[in-house]
Structure 1
Amino acid sequence: MKEIKIESTLYVFENLEELPKEAFSLMQKAIEAREKAYAPYSNFNVGAAILLDNDEIITGSNQENASYPSGLCAERTAIYYAGSQYPNAKIVRMAIIAGSKLKKTEQPIPPCGACRQAIAEYEIKQETPIEIYFMGETGKVAKSNSLSNLLPLGFDKSVL
């Protein structure tokens, strides 16, 4: 038997004000997007903002449905719109803010597994890493230099 150790590196900022200017601006767009979330069932609102290499900023918010699988997360709403409207643009950076209406969320909340897989597809497609900043409603902000830190041993087209 052989042991394989997998490590991930994240950077943690104490608050929004510690972020680099370009990340702070993008997180502000994610905060605005979160206000547009439609989450009457989970009461968990998420906003995402994506900076493309053509300087376009795309935002998305989670959109729920009474038939739960029919809804869509904020990250995928934004990433799929970016892919459909700007198919040749690369995603440079993504900012995500998430929080419950029922309790205060102060710890960074990363993308769900389905969103990690969707982001991974674009990172592989564009052959460059995507910086991802994520936070709860308030408090610390985590940064990953690549989706691969959040989804080690990812599933991709090489196994098909």
Structure 2
Amino acid sequence: MPRSARIPCLAAVLLAGALPLAAFAQDWRPATVFVQGGPGPKDGLKAVTVGAQWPWVWRSEFAGGEFTGATEVFLSGWRADAPGGGHRTYAQLGLVPMFRWRPAQAPWFVEAGIGLSVLDKQYVTANRVQSSEWNFSDNLALGYDIGKGSEVSLRWQHSSNGGARKPNPGINLYAVRYAVKF
């Protein structure tokens, strides 16, 4: 597939995958938008991300708190060391169903989710090669509601193809997220 057609095609595939998850959402307008950024521990990797979340109608009480869910879509810009020197940039598009647990009456929360992501090209640095552009996106976060519809969280994201292709060293990112609810 020509490179110029890759991103629109991949966006359409992710959108089609979002439709079943959207059935849980209350409507098509996002309830939350966010920006996040941070480094990876290797390859000089740095990422900046923007995204949105659509909450689900589903809720469940558990262990003195409440579980909720949301469908999250994000677009990240990565910069990493290039083989032979300099830097190389990447674009990542992702779709992740996220689950949140918040203790009753507490301002803090824990989030986790596993979804899909795609890079615009193969991740290659002097030390590592990720064999596929398509990857799972595993996410964990610890967050805090800072009031007036805003929250901040510390996040870990791991992108890996789950061993479907070799080599599969995986890519880790650590980030701080600021989110605003409407």
Common fold: TM-score over 0.5: no
Structure with max Cα Rg:
2
Higher helix share: 1
1 or 2, which has the higher strand percentage?
2
TM-score interval (norm. to shorter): 0.3 to 0.5
TM-score (norm 1): 0.33
